[in-house]
Amino acid sequence: MSTFQAPKGTYDLIPPSSATYLAVREAIAAPLRNSGYGYIETPGFENVELFARGVGESTDIVTKEMYAFETKGGDKLALRPEGTASTLRAALEANLHKGGNLPVKLWYSGSYYRYERPQKGRYRHFSQVGAEAIGVEDPALDAELIILANQSYRSLGLSDFRILLNSLGDQECRPVYRAALQDFLRGLELDEETRRRIEINPLRVLDDKRESVQEQLIGAPMLRDYLCEACKTYHEQVRELLTAAGVAFEDDPKLVRGLDYYTRTTFEFVHDGLGSQSAVGGGGRYDGLSEMIGGPALPSVGWALGVDRTVLALEAEGITLDLPAATSVYAVPLGEEARRVLFGKVTELRLAGVATDFAYGGKGLKNAMKSANRSGARLALVAGERDLAEGLVQLKDLQSGEQTAVALDAVVDEVRRALA
Ligand code: ATP
Ligand code: MG
């Protein structure tokens, strides 16, 4: 071990388990790629003000969890705590929303940073794959995103998860609800911080995880009783589209996002094998966000799925992904001449698309064969001076132990045949 360790709240992805991590990212991205979403990559840090406005001045993410800093040049930046604000910023900056090409559909994958209390499933550096559909208000778009997230999880073999769904209303009906909720909350026994929250961000109080708060919330006014006709119709259409697609969901009237620019559809994917860090992904409509960051009105919807927690969900369900072995052929040279010749064959095989590795460092036969087995390769290519003198190499099937002599210039073909 070195003098250093990974910083608190972080962990390293190392082989072989890192392969699962990559496969999860890929599985989440695949349905998006297949549905008109283009890949976007934005910087790991942004102007801190973008997050203050785009995530919300009163959220835990901005007030407590953000890695904000000032550069030597005096710029006030923050490591990105989430992906939506950056994605929208980039789309606006590149004018993707102009030219009549709405919705702009984008997906991303990357690292996010939050200064949280580390626990299982909650880290200071974590990974998300996200999707945003910008500039269109259409219940089919909301449904599409939920269907695609569901498809991702299903493709991984996950089944012990639920989709929670709610509507947050819009600029017309939410203020009325907000006022009614504030009236109700002001009458409760709450601590100072929560009382402040009632005034700034009352919907977030519904999301309070504490038992003592939840008990008092029984009988609180529910947004669904305040939805205007347009919001009701919209929500009903989202629900119908999901049902028609065979995607099961649960109505959760307490599911909220506390900021004014979140509107209508909101949803969360929760996994029942994860204990308290049960949210594997979440999202919703954010019709007011573009204007909050200085853009035009662009009703949008999106989600972000947590890669770390999805990997934990796989573990919780005992799912091992069926990943192809990283190496198919492992070459073992015995002696200098064999080293030169086999190294050439390795390069040839790789060019032919066969995943191949080589026993580096002049290992003896026994150690080299151990490495070959450890690599997961199906075949070993072994050659000594005597084989080479005859223009041959030994092709060994590492499962059956069967060994055949193969002419040097037939190696690529024979390997292909053996792997087929
Ligand atoms: P939570 O309620 O668990 O704090 P959140 O509402 O902060 O989640 P979002 O901002 O909606 O989460 O992020 C989407 C997803 O990213 C989450 O569902 C989760 O899977 C993942 N995620 C969020 N924060 C973390 C973290 N600190 N460590 C690992 N994964 C995280
Ligand atoms: Mg959080």
Range of the domain at 358: 329-419
Rounded Cα distance, 39 and 102, in Å: 16
The average confidence (pLDDT) of the chain is 95
Residue 83: pLDDT over 70: yes
Mark whether 248 and 363 lie in a shared domain.
no
Mark whether 391 and 261 lie in a shared domain.
no
For residue range 176-206, what is the model confidence (pLDDT) as tens digits?
A: 999 999 999 999 999 999 999 899 889 889 8
240 domain residue, yes or no: yes
Mark whether 97 and 144 lie in a shared domain.
yes
Strands 161-167 and 263-271: antiparallel
pLDDT at 259: 74
Strands 379-383 and 392-397: antiparallel
Mark whether 129 and 247 lie in a shared domain.
yes
Mark whether 371 and 232 lie in a shared domain.
no
Mark whether 279 and 351 lie in a shared domain.
no
Mark whether 297 and 342 lie in a shared domain.
no
Q: Whose CA is nearest to atom 23 of ligand 1?
A: 306
Query: Of 316, 342, 375, at which residue does a domain stop?
Result: 316
Distance of CA 112 from the midpoint of ligand 1 (Å): 10
Neighbouring C-beta atoms of residue 159, cutoff 10 Å: 10
Question: Which CATH number covers residue 94?
Answer: 3.30.930.10
Query: Of 316, 337, 357, at which residue does a domain stop?
Result: 316
Query: Who lines ligand 1 at CB under 6 A?
Result: 82, 114, 116, 121-123, 126, 128, 277, 279-282, 304, 306, 308-309
Mean pLDDT of 1-25: 95
User: Which of 51, 111, 116, 126 is the pocket-test mutation for ligand 1 (most atoms within 8 Å of CB)?
Assistant: 126
Query: Of 286, 316, 346, at which residue does a domain stop?
Result: 316
Mark whether 163 and 284 lie in a shared domain.
yes
* DSSP collapsed to 3 states, the chain: CCCCCCCCCCCCCCCCCHHHHHHHHHHHHHHHHCCCCEECCCCCEEEHHHHHHHHHCCCHHHHCCCCEEECCCCCEEEECCCCHHHHHHHHHHCCCCCCCCCCEEEEEEEEEECCCCCECCECCEEEEEEEEEECCCCHHHHHHHHHHHHHHHHHCCCCCEEEEEEECCCCCCHHHHHHHHHHHHHCCCCCHHHHHHHHHCHHHHCCCCCHHHHHHCCCCCCHHHCCCHHHHHHHHHHHHHHHHCCCCCEECCCCCCCCCCCEEEEEEEEECCCCCCCEEEEEEECCCHHHHCCCCCCCEEEEEEEHHHHHHHHHHCCCCCCCCCCCCEEEEECCHHHHHHHHHHHHHHHHCCCCEEECCCCCCHHHHHHHHHHCCCCEEEEECHHHHHCCEEEEEECCCCCEEEEEHHHHHHHHHHHHC
Q: Which atom of ligand 1 is nearest to the CA of 123?
A: 28
Full-model pTM? 0.93
pLDDT at 258: 66
pLDDT at 209: 84
pLDDT at 331: 98
92 domain residue, yes or no: yes
219 domain residue, yes or no: no
pLDDT at 201: 86
pLDDT at 169: 95
For residue range 110-156, what is the model confidence (pLDDT) as tens digits?
A: 999 999 999 999 999 999 999 999 999 999 999 999 999 999 999 99
User: Which of 62, 128, 152 is the pocket-test mutation for ligand 1 (most atoms within 8 Å of CB)?
Assistant: 128
For residue range 300-335, what is the model confidence (pLDDT) as tens digits?
A: 999 999 999 999 999 999 999 999 888 999 999 999
- Number of domains the chain is built from: 2
Question: Which CATH number covers residue 380?
Answer: 3.40.50.800
Distance of CA 75 from the midpoint of ligand 1 (Å): 27
Q: Which atom of ligand 1 is nearest to the CA of 121?
A: 29
Distance of CA 114 from the midpoint of ligand 2 (Å): 8
